[in-house]
Structure 1
């Protein structure tokens, strides 16, 4: 049966536009996939570990330096990587903070991008090892970064596309809303409903 990994990263609670979008996506996806399953992770509550000396030693060695601390660091990564491996679709609620991604989302990325585990260097260069998955990014921002005046400062979408592509997830869709005032955001979220419905349908094997 299809499986979806739902991740939120906004520091806001009920006022978060990205959380509203990701929740709506999952709702539609569940409707299209009544036998599908969902794993949820809230990075603002369950904050991933930052890369540490123990993590670096565990990944890169030397082998004789491995101990209980390096093992624990890698086990934390393995839990997060395993969630991605089990998923057919990743639904990522990622607001824009200061032109980039929240620190908690960056910490999650740093835990799951692991040499020899989610990417490798082969005869023809780097190769992502988590192929065959779709990622949908639900993004909120104050300004419209499709506007040429703001586009050069968009380090959010290129980063997410690039780093997910690096681990093999090349099918990345971004559904974005923008605005500061509550009425702006409400209207943008309602308008995004059509894009969410279309995307969730395309991401559903039964569709």
Structure 2
């Protein structure tokens, strides 16, 4: 499985063997394939580097080797020294540091399948991207309150006109919204309860779906998300039955459509689901479904 460097702010230096800086095959019309030998201790600072170098192949768009094209928001994204040492050429890449919001919604502890999968993904992700940061919220064990009359009054009151009482009523919601907006990506573990999400996660949804904070709408009634574009979401679900397309219960899946719709309102449309299904349909079906979900999880680490 290949895990690709990501370009952004934190600068990391690799030592590259010059003889591997040439294309290894004839490039297609837009890409040239180049193979580098990278020191693993620069890719994985926490692990001990082996005695040899790790060979990694990248497909690079030639135009992207120019400054300001790998990531438009950054001034300098690819720097190369002009005088390499006698054996190695030193090249500097800027690697992306991503902030992930990780949420679990199951009231179960270690027995929770959705919790197991979301945690396994985060642990695996961090082993490959140790500089990434994670904020964690456990809604299953520390649920947020449902909205009440004071909350509604505060949410629809201009901030400058809120009384101290209304400021306090909306304080947690503001924290949750800030947390959502600060994240680059989202990893959620959500079991299916009665064909949809648990009430703990619905309470969270009600706290973060805020007009003029996470969405707005125009005179035609069309929604416009206020969450910045480009964010990704990965949701692990656990289900007793099978709700995949083509199954008898497919039409009863209100969980995935609801989550796609509500986060779409906020502007998050790049959503990937990994379902652990058939958990109550016999041990063989259960184990096969868990194996499939874990395989999808491992694949997602390299492609998400």
The TM-score normalised by the length of structure 1 is 0.90
Per the TM alignment, residue 40 of structure 1 is displaced from its structure 2 partner at its CA by: 0.7
The SS at the match of 1:40 is strand
Match of 1:173 in 2: 272
Give the whole-Å Cα distance in 2 for the aligned partners of 1:70 and 1:26: 36
Equivalent-residue separation in structure 1 for 2:125 and 2:104 (angstroms): 16
Deviation at 1:42, TM superposition (A): 0.4
- Deviation of residue 155 (structure 1)? 0.7
User: How far, CA to CA, are the matches of 1:161 and 1:4 in structure 2?
Assistant: 19
What corresponds to 1:113 in structure 2? Answer: 209
Question: Matches of 1:182 and 1:110 in 2, distance apart?
Answer: 37
Deviations 1:137-195 (A, max 9, x none): 10000001015310111110000000010001000111001212566444422322221
Measured on the aligned residues, the alpha-carbon RMSD in Å equals 2.0
Segments of structure 2 that go 5 or more residues without pairing to the other structure are 1-96
CA distance in 1 between counterparts of 2:124 and 2:160 reads 50
| Bigger-Rg structure (1/2) | 2
In the alignment of these two chains, the number of paired residues is: 203
C-alpha separation in 2, matches of 1:140 and 1:58: 35
Please state whether the residue corresponding to 2:191 is helix, strand or coil: coil
1:90 aligns with 2:186: yes
| Structure 1 counterpart of 2:39 | none
- Please identify which structure carries the higher strand content: 2
Do residues 199 (structure 1) and 300 (structure 2) align?
A: yes
Structure 1 unpaired stretches of 5+: none
Work out which of the residue numbers 113, 131, 134 in structure 2 matches 1:17: 113
Instruction: Classify 1:62/1:118 alpha carbon distance in 2 versus 1 (closer, same or farther; 3 Å).
Output: closer
Asked if structure 2 preserves the Cα contact closer than 8 Å seen for 1:32 and 1:201, the reply is no
Equivalence map 1:87-166=2 (5 Å): 87-122=183-218, 125-130=222-227, 131-146=229-244, 147-166=246-265
- The alignment's TM-score, normalised by the length of structure 2, stands at 0.63
SS in 1 for 2:123: helix
Q: Measure, in 2, the Cα distance between the counterparts of 1:7 and 1:29.
A: 15
How far does residue 11 in structure 1 lie from its aligned partner after superposition? Answer: 1.4
Larger relative contact order (C-alpha < 8 A, sep ≥ 6)?
Answer: 1
Q: Distance in 2 between matches of 1:171 and 1:84?
A: 15
Task: Show the counterpart of 1:41.
Answer: 137
The offset of 1:119, in angstroms, is 0.3
Per-residue deviation, 1:33: 1.1
